[in-house]
Chain A
Amino acid sequence: MNWYNIVFYLFALIVLVSAAGVVFSRKMMYAAFSLLFTFFGVAGLYVLLNADFIAVTQIMVYIGGILILIIFGVMLTSKFTDLEIKSGTTGTVQYVLAGISTIIVAAALIIMYLNVDWVQNPVPELESTVKPIGILLMTKYFLAFQVAAILLLLAFIGAAKIARRK
């Protein structure tokens, strides 16, 4: 049991507990803060997987952007008269059906993951992934990169148009 394993299990615990907190908490702000811990935990798992660029991008895009947007959404869509911002759920029938169907999907996924003999190459020693990702983005995936930029521009114009008061 070295430090790598301890850190892995710690991050796994954080991610799973806070992901459950997002879905099962009654108050919306608690769900939003659980989502913060989930994003941090997934970023930690990326670091353990030697994906430093993706880990930093996760923190910047998800925590710095999407989570702030979601918290603004929670704030703007709550009626200020009731301080307890709660959110309801569906009935028991839906819970049972959702539980059964998701357990079937989960069992199928986990059995497949454990039984397939995945191709694994010997991993080279630790080095930054920023440079190879930058080279790939500017050569092989250049068109997709530009299309993603245009998509983001259009999305932000559309979001401003939709959310604006008439």
Chain B
Amino acid sequence: MLQSIPLEYYLIISAVIFIIGSIGVITRRNAIIIFMSIELMLNAVNLTLVSFSSFLGDVSGQIFVFFVMSVAAAEAAIGLAIILALFRSKQTIYVDEVNLLKW
């Protein structure tokens, strides 16, 4: 069952998701799209952890995925609150139009 797909395939899928997410973080300007790309990267790391954990036969890796998910939920709440506060004060969520700290 599990062995019919080698471990490397899962790892390559997660690497490709991570790379797509990092392209999004680098090239997009919209803060919410950047946010979604960060979620993609977190998902890729979770997929790596789960595939290692399953092929090792040890559930400890899935505990770490659980903690990563809880931190991701906290990050989503805080991040969207910051984006909303930003939109309220600057009327934009494009990260290159927010240059208060630029000199």
Contacts and interface: CB of A to CB of B under 8 A. Distances in A.
Interface in A46-68: 46, 48-51, 53-54, 57-58, 61-62, 65-66
Listed residue (B17, B32, B55) with the most chain A CB atoms within 10 angstroms of its CB = B32
Contact of B20 (A23, A73, A151): A23
B33 A102 contact: no
A110 B11 CA distance: 8
A109 B74 contact: no
Given A23-B37, A45-B10, A120-B7, A136 B32 contact: no
Interface string B4-24: 110111111101111111111
Contacts of B15: 106, 109-110, 113
A133 B36 contact: no
Interface in A80-118: 87-90, 94-95, 98-99, 101-103, 105-106, 109-110, 113-114, 118
Nearest to B3: A123
**Interface SS of chain B:** helix
Interface in B43-94: 43, 46-47, 50-60, 62-63, 65-67, 69-78, 80-85, 87-88, 91, 93-94
Interface residues of A, number: 84
Interface residues of B, number: 75
A72 B28 CA distance: 20
B80 A98 contact: no
Listed residue (B16, B29, B33, B91) with the most chain A CB atoms within 10 angstroms of its CB = B33
B36 A32 contact: yes
B101 interface: no
Interface in A99-152: 99, 101-103, 105-106, 109-110, 113-114, 118-124, 126, 129, 132-133, 136-137, 141, 144, 148, 151-152
25 contacts: A20-B20, A22-B20, A31-B36, A38-B40, A39-B43, A61-B72, A70-B39, A79-B91, A87-B29, A87-B32, A88-B29, A89-B29, A106-B15, A106-B19, A113-B12, A118-B55, A120-B55, A132-B59, A133-B59, A133-B66, A137-B63, A151-B74, A155-B73, A155-B77, A165-B88
Given A70-B39, A101-B26, A118-B8, 17 more contacts: A5-B5, A22-B24, A22-B36, A23-B37, A35-B36, A42-B43, A49-B50, A49-B54, A62-B72, A73-B32, A95-B27, A102-B23, A119-B56, A120-B55, A133-B59, A152-B73, A163-B84
